[in-house]
Amino acid sequence: MAIRNFEYEDLEEVAKIADESLQENYSIDFLLYLWQINPEGFMVAERDGKVVGFIVSIKEGKEKLRILMLAVDKKFRRKGIGKSLLRELLIKYPETRKVVLEVRSDNKEAINFYKKQKFKIKGKIEDFYTDGSTAYLMERVLF
Ligand SMILES: CC(C)(COP(=O)(O)OP(=O)(O)OC[C@H]1O[C@@H](n2cnc3c(N)ncnc32)[C@H](O)[C@@H]1OP(=O)(O)O)[C@@H](O)C(=O)NCCC(=O)NCCS
Does the predicted model carry a pTM greater than 0.95?
A: yes
Q: What residue ranges do the domains of the chain occupy?
A: 2-141
Whether ligand 1 lies within 6 angstroms of the CB of 99 is answered as no
pLDDT digits (tens, 9 = 90+) for 95-141: 999 999 999 999 999 999 999 999 999 999 999 999 999 999 999 99
Mutate which of 46, 107, 113 for ligand 1 pocket (most atoms within 8 A of beta carbon): 113
d(CA 43, CA 141): 21
Q: What is the pLDDT of residue 67?
A: 98
Dihedral pair phi/psi, residue 139, rounded to 5°: -145, 140
Residue 11: which residues within 8 A CB-CB, separation 6 or more? 28, 31, 32
Q: How far is the CA of 34 from the centre of ligand 1 (A)?
A: 23
The CATH fold assigned to 2-141 is: Aminopeptidase (3.40.630)
Ligand 1: atom nearest CA of 107 is 44
Q: What is the pLDDT of residue 125?
A: 98
pLDDT digits (tens, 9 = 90+) for 14-41: 999 999 999 999 999 999 999 999 999 9
Whether ligand 1 lies within 6 angstroms of the CB of 17 is answered as no
Ligand 1: atom nearest CA of 71 is 39
What is the mean predicted confidence (pLDDT) over 53-57? 98
